[in-house]
Amino acid sequence: MIVGALSVILAFGIPITAIITSHIQKQTKMQQEMLKDQLELEKLKHENYLIETEKMRLELEKIRLENPKDEIKLM
């Protein structure tokens, strides 16, 4: 009886372990890809911030050059 139960447990235990391991590996891979995508998004956000900041700086400089007498008011 014990031998029969043990053989059933072993017969079903190995495939179940393989299924669980495969599932965990897939989840880990998906999390890794998600983190990679988030990192890329943060890089793009940072680049966008730098571009916008530079654009604003150039616009302010243009305003200052066009209206030198108003520079005192801006400061």
Domain boundaries defined on the chain? 2-74
pTM, entire model: 0.61
C-alpha span between 17 and 24 (Å, rounded): 11
Asked whether the beta carbons of 23 and 15 are under 8 A apart, the reply is no
pLDDT means over runs of 10, the chain (75 residues): 81 88 97 98 98 97 84 55
Between the alpha carbon of residue 51 and those of residues 35, 41, 46, 48, the distances in Å are: 24, 15, 9, 5
Which residue's structure tokens are 């680049």?
Answer: 47
Q: What pLDDT score does 72 carry?
A: 55
State pLDDT tens for residues 14-23: 889 999 999 9
Please tell me the distance from the alpha carbon of residue 36 to that of residue 29, in angstroms, as a whole number: 11
